[in-house]
Structure 1
Amino acid sequence: MVLKNKTILITAAGQGIGAASARACAAAGAQVIATDLDAGLLAALGDEPNIQTRVLDVTDQGAIDALAADLPDLDGLFNCAGVVHHGTVLELTDADWNFALDLNVTSMVRMCRAFVPGLLRRAKSEGSAAILNMSSMASSEKGFINRTAYGATKAAVIGLTKAIAADFVARNLRCNALCPGTVDTPSLRGRIASAPDPVQAEKDFIARQPMGRLATVDDLTPTVVHLLSDGSRFVTGQAVLVDGGVTI
């Protein structure tokens, strides 16, 4: 029970990596606050032990501040919310760019502004607290075609992570970034289904993974739990790749 007596908040916890992480953290002993914009998606988590659900729009600073005021201090925060924009810079409108930047990066700034004071209090009293930010192998780690906005914003997440880690390293608040490979999630399935040739699209996603398969959410959750636990108390400012060998 490596997360026993810890309170962990996870954004975008209604499905995919966020939902799997909520379940894994709860199974590891944490009290999990699973948030998502979609109350319907959260319903599947509502009756599970050690998980409470809250509707949250991470683009709304007022809603974030209200939630922070209503919750106990956190031991861990997993900023999981994000969006994948498809296209080169030539297809990237200002509206697309602004939305990707707002959801993929600025939402993390908002969440940290609201919850870092409480995390610091827990770090002082318990000796450790942690932030985990969702980045990607498509970032400063590697470029991919048709991922201009996604790659740029996920690279910014790594820079944000390192800056937060540097600011609070002496106060026992750690901050790391998770950089997954291609994960079989509802989001990915939606992108595959919307492709002109979905069968070929799935083959293409699999082909870029040297292990010859897509990652499952369960390939990622052990690392999520570890980076939110005291087992990683000497790890901070890192972009942790769980990519099945893509960036070898």
Structure 2
Amino acid sequence: MLSGLSSISILLNASWSEDLVKFDGKNVVVTGGAQGIGAATSKLFAKRGASVGVLDWDEDAGIRTVKEIEETGGRADFSRVNVADFDSVERAVAHINELWGSVSSLVVSAGIQRYGTALTTSLEQWHEVLGVNLEGAWNAARAVIPFLRKSGGGTIVNVSSVQALATQPNVLAYTVSKHALIGLTRSIAIDFASQNIRANAVCPGSVDTPMLHWAASMDRNPESVLQACNQMHPLGRIARPEEIAEVIAFLAHENSSFVTGAVWTVDGGLLAQLGGAPRAA
């Protein structure tokens, strides 16, 4: 166990995470790995020594992410995947295993958001969101778990949302999918703990990603939406994708070896505050 002074010195060292959370010799699959949190995670794992299988529907973004990784000395491979289609995911994961000989970790970052209430969400929107956000996570897990078992264990990190724990108006399907993703995470954690497979979920607040900017663009004044997102977090800003990636990397690393079935909120204090309460004098 680190002493208090040792802990402080590590936290004050800007490179402490890079020094301690390494993935040399590991092979990681990242769904939604071409943009936003997924791209930041893919790049971080590669920087820390992992070979990264980038799975995404957006081929241009996927190729660009792999190129950026390779230009900085990392190793990555892109597969165009529809995460809602199990066969598509299974082929991509099998390709990664064949390419590098094993799979060590899975990060599920593929996700979409659509607007609507219980009355205005169409059946098509419901299936679209649940297909990507929930069924996509299940598909990735059942494609990867057999390879994790062969490797003697491994990790799964699912990117959920603070909207799994609270919600805003008019996002029914998204909220349901992110709530259910936590249930999926916990079930996998319990079912496969005896096989040394750990599963955890990360619940980010607002993050500077293409999805957030898309959501803001739906408003007549996108800049006011982004400003409001910054202001509603007690830290006074939204997160950078790299900040979420650091938490994902920790949960995928052996340093978190006793953490499974957990839900990590990474939200700048958003859910800690009492919404609508007046400021104290």
Q: Same fold (TM over 0.5)?
A: yes
Q: String of CA shifts for 1:99-156, please: whole Å, max 9, x gaps.
A: 111111001111111111111111x2xxx410011100111x2122222211111000
- The worse-fitting range, judged by mean Cα deviation, of 102-111 and 52-61 is 52-61
* Alpha-carbon offset, residue 210 of structure 1: 1.4
Task: State which structure, 1 or 2, has the greater radius of gyration over its C-alpha atoms.
Answer: 2
Query: 2:135 corresponds to which residue?
Result: 106
Query: 2:87 corresponds to which residue?
Result: 62
What's the secondary structure of 2:198's corresponding residue? strand
Calculate the TM-score normalised by the size of structure 2: 0.83
In structure 2, the CA distance between the partners of 1:23 and 1:186, relative to structure 1 (3 Å rule), is same
Structure 1 spans left out of the alignment, 5+ residues: none
Q: Aligned AA for 2:201?
A: A
Query: 1:214 corresponds to which residue?
Result: 238
- 1:2–1:230 Cα contact (<8 Å) kept: no
**What is the rounded CA distance, in whole Å, between the counterparts of 1:199 and 1:90 in structure 2?**
29
1:83 aligned onto 2:116:
no
1:227 aligned onto 2:256:
no
In structure 2, the CA distance between the partners of 1:45 and 1:188, relative to structure 1 (3 Å rule), is same
4+ residue segments displaced more than 6 Å = none
**What is the rounded CA distance, in whole Å, between the counterparts of 1:200 and 1:240 in structure 2?**
29
Query: 1:119 corresponds to which residue?
Result: 148
Q: 1:142 aligns with which of 166, 176, 186?
A: 166
* Alpha-carbon offset, residue 208 of structure 1: 2.1
Q: String of CA shifts for 1:69-93, please: whole Å, max 9, x gaps.
A: 3232310000110111223223211
1:17 aligned onto 2:37:
yes
1:172 aligned onto 2:196:
yes
Q: Percent identity?
A: 31
Within 5 Å, give how 1:23-42 maps onto structure 2: 23-42=43-62
Q: Aligned AA for 1:75?
A: S
* Alpha-carbon offset, residue 98 of structure 1: 1.1
**What is the rounded CA distance, in whole Å, between the counterparts of 2:246 and 2:174 in structure 1?**
25
**What is the rounded CA distance, in whole Å, between the counterparts of 2:32 and 2:173 in structure 1?**
19
**What is the rounded CA distance, in whole Å, between the counterparts of 1:212 and 1:90 in structure 2?**
34
Q: Aligned AA for 2:91?
A: A
Query: 2:123 corresponds to which residue?
Result: 94
What's the secondary structure of 1:46's corresponding residue? helix
* Alpha-carbon offset, residue 14 of structure 1: 1.3
Q: Aligned AA for 1:203?
A: Q
**What is the rounded CA distance, in whole Å, between the counterparts of 2:228 and 2:125 in structure 1?**
24
Q: String of CA shifts for 1:39-82, please: whole Å, max 9, x gaps.
A: 11112123322222221111222222222332323100001101
Q: 1:159 aligns with which of 158, 183, 197?
A: 183
Structure 2 spans left out of the alignment, 5+ residues: 1-20, 273-281
**What is the rounded CA distance, in whole Å, between the counterparts of 2:43 and 2:229 in structure 1?**
26
Q: 2:154 aligns with which of 99, 109, 129?
A: 129
Query: 1:239 corresponds to which residue?
Result: 263
- The worse-fitting range, judged by mean Cα deviation, of 1-10 and 159-168 is 1-10
- 2:234–2:268 Cα contact (<8 Å) kept: yes
Q: String of CA shifts for 1:178-197, please: whole Å, max 9, x gaps.
A: 10000011111111122122
- 2:52–2:75 Cα contact (<8 Å) kept: yes
- 1:26–1:50 Cα contact (<8 Å) kept: yes
Calculate the TM-score normalised by the size of structure 1: 0.94
